[in-house]
Amino acid sequence: MTRSLEYGETWVYESLLGTIPGVRVSSRTAIGIQFLGFEAAIIAVAAAYDLWGAVVPGTVAVAVATIGSWLMLRFSRSVRELPTPTAYRRLLFGSSIDVVLGVLAFVVLVTYLFVIDPRGSNADSSLLTELFGAEPPALAVGLALLVLWDVVYRIGTCWWASVVGLWRAITYAFGPETTRAYQRIDAINIGFAAVQLLLVPLVAGDTVLLVAVAGHVVAVLIVATLSVVWQGRQKASRTGPFDHR
């Protein structure tokens, strides 16, 4: 029988999968429902308000979030299969910093979309106006914000995983096999960030958002690569405290 995961061993996203009473679905099914549910909602709203121009951007954003969900689960399960220091596991999963970073990024994004962008550009050329028209339907905007939160949360998680991964690489040393496994985990995070480059064509006309997305990907690439390189230079002998508890 599979042991149920406890607090501090999962992402918040993973914890939510098991919180609905009486509902038990596999991760693959949950990810499929995530994509199909959002995509169906996007098409329905587009049909209701004649917003077909927003379907492609919405689909790309949903695809990024869905792939991000799959990579998050692959990342976390790979970590749990290894001898993981307690401090690293708690910092990665139990601190909920991934949610904090996601919330902060989401607040900044919403402020930019609804306040800064309309003020800094012609009213007809703001991103919201281009997608939803001069009088955006409330339902369309609400759905867009929900999809954006899904994407931004995964961006926050990606950044946190890379930072904690570098801390782990500097603080702990493992045997050759475990070190290679952790390097592969860091590579998953690099792939996690690379997926977000799919958003670049959507924001190519907006310098602020383009710099934000590209800058995030480059930052994760640098930090995760440093983690991989540092671990490669570590000696096989333990150089820091290690706790299996």
Which pair of tokens denotes residue 11?
């992402």
243 domain-assigned: no
What pLDDT is recorded for position 245?
Answer: 46
137 domain-assigned: yes
245 domain-assigned: no
5 domain-assigned: no
Q: Using an 8 Å Cβ cutoff, are 75 and 161 in contact? A: yes
Angle between helices 138-171 and 27-49 (to 10 degrees): 150
What is the per-residue pLDDT across 113-144, written as a single tens digit (0 to 9) for each? 998 888 775 656 788 888 898 889 999 999 99
pTM of the model: 0.85
What string of H, E and C letters represents the secondary structure of 129-175? HHHHCCCCCHHHHHHHHHHHHHHHHHHHHHHHHHHHHHHHHHHCCCC
What is the per-residue pLDDT across 146-204, written as a single tens digit (0 to 9) for each? 999 999 998 889 999 999 999 999 998 888 888 899 999 999 999 988 999 999 999 98
Domain count, the chain: 1
What is the domain extent for residue 98? Answer: 12-233
241 domain-assigned: no
At residue 243 the predicted structure's pLDDT band, cuts being 50, 70 and 90, is very low
The per-residue pLDDT of the chain, averaged, comes to 85
Which pair of tokens denotes residue 105?
């990024």
Q: Which of the residue ranges 54-63, 172-181, 235-244 would you say has the lowest mean pLDDT?
A: 235-244
7 domain-assigned: no
161 domain-assigned: yes
